[in-house]
Amino acid sequence: MSAATVPAPVLEVEGLEKRFAGFVAVDGVSLTVAPGEIVGLIGANGAGKTTLLHTVYGRHRADAGSVRFLGEDVGALAPRDRARRGMGLVFQTTSIFPTLSVEENLRLGAMPKSGRASLGDADAIERTLVTIDLVAERAVAADDLAHGQQQWLEIGMALLAEPTLLFLDEPTSGMTRAESRRTAELIRGLRAERPDRSVIVVEHNIEFIAMISDRVIVMHRGTVIADGPIDAVRADPEVQASYLGRRG
């Protein structure tokens, strides 16, 4: 492929480092994400996956290295300013309001983008209800949803800000197999809706990662030890030794 046909990366991370009281949690990580790519980020507990996401998103200030998003160095920006530029971060069920309905939660999710404390964009909310498969549950209080549905609501709230790059941290944690399969469809569907949208997914569930990822990045002790298609990563001796080989 000639240089002219390679699209500019959405995300370029170069030599990123994050220390906690001298402990190096992220140790010189470099990676890129292309428009429309779904990237799985895997590694043992404590490998630095969540810290990497949070440093890229600006929740942690990097100790060294750079983060370029859509060609702009965003290293000095607060998370809300990175979000305004199109980054979205979803954790395990932390931002939904349990006593409010699905639809009311989505309206709140739409507010930062519209900048108004009134109704969110009604069309966007309808589209999102379909995407996250909660049309029939629109009037149900978030607290009364199944665990998997709460996770989809979280993703829906993030989607209303129309992120160009979405970070998902362990989206299938605590889900049934059926819920995980549905979540894989949902994530693949995000790109079908908008082909330039990129997603980085942190997960321990390797079968799930295999279902959704175009590319897999493996972290070990704060560094990237493999980056490529799932089959190549699975066959990599270093990955086998440090992570996959030790999993039941």
Residues that bind ligand ATP (CB under 6 A): 20, 25, 43, 45-51
CB 171 within 8 A of CB 205: no
Nearer to ligand ATP, 67 or 161 (CB): 67
Residue 109 CA to its chain's centroid (Å): 16
User: Shortest distance, CB of residue 204 to ligand ATP, whole angstroms?
Assistant: 6
User: Shortest distance, CB of residue 74 to ligand ATP, whole angstroms?
Assistant: 20
Nearer to ligand ATP, 43 or 163 (CB): 43
User: Shortest distance, CB of residue 24 to ligand ATP, whole angstroms?
Assistant: 9
Sign of CA dihedral 210, 7, 65, 226: positive
Nearer to ligand ATP, 13 or 134 (CB): 13
User: Shortest distance, CB of residue 119 to ligand ATP, whole angstroms?
Assistant: 37
Distance (Å, whole) CA 83 – CA 89: 8
Residues 6+ apart with CB under 8 A from 80: 112
Q: What is the largest CA-CA distance in the chain?
A: 55
Nearer to ligand ATP, 161 or 168 (CB): 168
Distance (Å, whole) CA 26 – CA 222: 4
